[in-house]
Amino acid sequence: MTSVQEPVSVMPIMNMVYGLWVSQTLVTAHERDVFGRFAEHPGMTTAELAEKLGCEERPVEQLVTACAGLDLLERHGDGYRNTPMTSRYLIRGGEDYVGGWVEVVSRHDYPGWLRLDDALRTNRPTAWDSERRDSLFDDTNPVVVETFWEGMSAISRPTARVMAETVDLSAARSLLDVGGGGGAYAIELCRAYPELSATIFDLPFVCDLTEKKVKQAGFGDRVSFAQGSFFTDPLPTGQDVVLLSMILHDWDIDQCRSILRSCYDALAPGGQLLISELLVADAKDGPLDATLMSLSMLVETFGRNYTGEEYRSWLLDAGFTDVEVRPFDAPAANGVVIARKPANS
43 and 178 co-located in one domain: no
- The answer as to whether 168 is a domain residue is yes
45 and 183 co-located in one domain: no
Question: What is the number of domains present in the chain?
Answer: 2
Q: Mean pLDDT in each 10-residue stretch from start to end of the chain (345 residues)?
A: 78 95 97 98 98 98 98 97 97 89 90 96 90 68 65 89 97 97 95 98 92 93 97 97 97 98 98 98 98 96 97 98 98 97 93
> In this structure, how many other beta carbons lie within 10 angstroms of the beta carbon of residue 45?
18
Q: Which of 40, 65, 89 is the last residue of a domain?
A: 89
pLDDT of residue 94: 87
State how far the Cα of 331 lies from the Cα of 334, in Å rounded to an integer. 8
pLDDT of residue 131: 77
The SS3 assignment for 203 reads: coil
pLDDT of residue 144: 60
State how far the Cα of 133 lies from the Cα of 237, in Å rounded to an integer. 31
Catalytic residues: 249
Residue 235 neighbours by CB under 8 Å, 6+ apart: 176, 178, 201, 226, 228, 242, 262, 263, 265, 266
168 and 73 co-located in one domain: no
- The answer as to whether 67 is a domain residue is yes
205 and 333 co-located in one domain: yes
82 and 159 co-located in one domain: no
Half-sphere exposure (Cβ direction) of 75: Cα atoms closer than 13 Å:
4
List the domain range (segments joined by +) for residue 213: 155-340
State how far the Cα of 238 lies from the Cα of 173, in Å rounded to an integer. 11
pLDDT of residue 130: 78
71 and 170 co-located in one domain: no
- The answer as to whether 121 is a domain residue is no
198 and 81 co-located in one domain: no
Q: What is the pTM of this model?
A: 0.92
161 and 77 co-located in one domain: no
190 and 304 co-located in one domain: yes
For position 33, which CATH number holds? 1.10.10.10
For position 315, which CATH number holds? 3.40.50.150
> In this structure, how many other beta carbons lie within 10 angstroms of the beta carbon of residue 307?
17
- The answer as to whether 304 is a domain residue is yes
